[in-house]
């Protein structure tokens, strides 16, 4: 057993436990996007950053990949962690605002705006689908291609894969494919209304040909701000 302190609380965990698991077992919430039980830790989304160490040696690490160590002091919500987490959420919103998962995380952290050039990407390259396909479906049909800005997920040479059984596992785990809310105009999608129990605002006429699972929605609240 390994003893460590999380937010001042001492806890003992088994060897090999990650900081994320240890913190969750104590009930400290850490947002994640690329982590899923049953899939190997990857550490790509950088949402689950926690602060370890003290003084000038204190640093942020991704809790989903960092193994618990004896005597480690972990802070899951220090000001440094929050600053980083908020900026990561803002970056996510700037790239992929339509994702319901990201909207929910933003709303939960009270992020209502982003200050970068707005993009509308479909993929945040969290790698859940790649790991799902390889580790749970034993197919390895999809993988990463390219580097940096040109990195994408797909089959080799974009040819239909022989090993793909069309199981849909990749779509099931994707935080951006399922549950997309684009509002009536994509720019207004970052409302987070679904996570806020604010007074209802129904703009039915604008939602004629699309279904908002957010009914009622509070987009108009944002406009007033």
Partner 1 sequence: MERLQVIEDFSSLQARLTADREPNIPVIVIPAGTCGQASGANDLIRVTKRELLDKGLTDKIHLRVTGCHGFCEAEPSVLIEPQGTFYPKVDAKQMVRIVQAVAADEVLEDLLFADPETGRGFYRYDKIPFFRNQQRSIMRMNQALDPIRIYTCIVSGGYGALQDVLANRSPYQALQEVKDSGLRGRGGAGFPTGLKWDLLAALPDEPAKILVCNADEGDPGAYMDRSILEGNPHSIIEGMLIAAYATGATEGVLYVRNEYPLAIKHLMIALRQCRELGLLGDDILGTGLRFDIELVRGAGAFVCGEETALIRSIEGKMGEPVQRPPFPVEKGINGRPTAINNVETWANIPLIFKLGAEEYAKVGTNGNTGTKIFSLVGKIKNTGLVEVPMGITIEKIVHDIGGGARGNGKIKAVQTGGPSGGCIPADRFDLPVDYDSLAKAGSIMGSGGMIVMDDNTCMVDVAKYFMNFLMDESCGKCFTCRKGTQRMYEILEDISNGKATLQDLDLLEELAHVVKDTTMCGLGQTASNPVLSTLRYFRDEYIEHIENQRCPAGVCKELVTYSINENCTGCGLCVTVCSEGAISGEKKGRHVIDVDKCIKCGSCRTVCNFDAIDVR
Buried b (16+ CB within 10 A) or exposed e, 93-119: bbbbbbbbbbbbbbbebebeebeeeee
Whose tokens are 């989903």? That residue is 64
By CB under 8 A, the count of residues binding partner 1 is 36
Interface with partner 1 (CB under 8 A), residue from 4, 23, 30, 94: 94
113 binds partner 1 (CB under 8 A): no
CB of 108 to partner 1, least distance (A): 18
Q: Give the Cα separation of 217 and 63 in Å (integer).
A: 34
CB of 35 to partner 1, least distance (A): 12
140 binds partner 1 (CB under 8 A): no
Which residues are within 8 A (CB) of 111 and not within 5 positions of it... i.e. 6 or more apart? 86, 89, 90, 93, 192
Q: Give the Cα separation of 15 and 26 in Å (integer).
A: 17
Interface with partner 1 (CB under 8 A), residue from 9, 118, 146, 187: 146
CB of 127 to partner 1, least distance (A): 8
Q: Which residues bind partner 1 (CB under 8 A)?
A: 41, 43-46, 49, 59-62, 65-67, 80, 83-84, 87-88, 91-92, 94-95, 115-117, 124-127, 144, 146-151
């Amino acid at each position: 057993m390994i003893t460590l302190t999380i937010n001042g609380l001492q806890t003992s965990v088994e060897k090999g436990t990650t900081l994320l698991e240890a913190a969750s077992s104590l009930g400290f919430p850490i947002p994640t996007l690329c982590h899923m039980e049953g899939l190997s830790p990857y550490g790509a989304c950088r949402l689950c950053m926690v602060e370890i160490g003290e003084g000038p040696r204190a640093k942020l690490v991704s809790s989903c990949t960092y193994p618990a160590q004896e005597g480690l002091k972990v802070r899951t919500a220090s000001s440094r962690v929050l600053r980083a987490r908020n900026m990561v959420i803002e970056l996510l919103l700037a790239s992929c605002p339509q994702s319901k998962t990201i909207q929910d995380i933003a709303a939960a952290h009270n992020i209502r705006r982003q200050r970068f050039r707005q993009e509308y990407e479909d993929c945040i390259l969290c790698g859940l689908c790649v790991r799902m396909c390889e580790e749970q479906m034993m197919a390895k049909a999809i993988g990463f291609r390219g580097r940096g800005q040109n990195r994408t997920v797909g089959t080799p040479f974009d040819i239909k894969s022989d090993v793909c059984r069309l199981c849909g596992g990749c779509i099931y785990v994707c935080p951006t494919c399922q549950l997309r809310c684009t509002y009536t105009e994509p720019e207004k999608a970052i409302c987070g209304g679904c996570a806020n129990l604010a007074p209802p605002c129904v703009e039915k006429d604008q939602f004629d040909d699309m279904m908002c699972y957010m009914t009622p929605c509070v987009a108009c609240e944002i406009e007033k701000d």
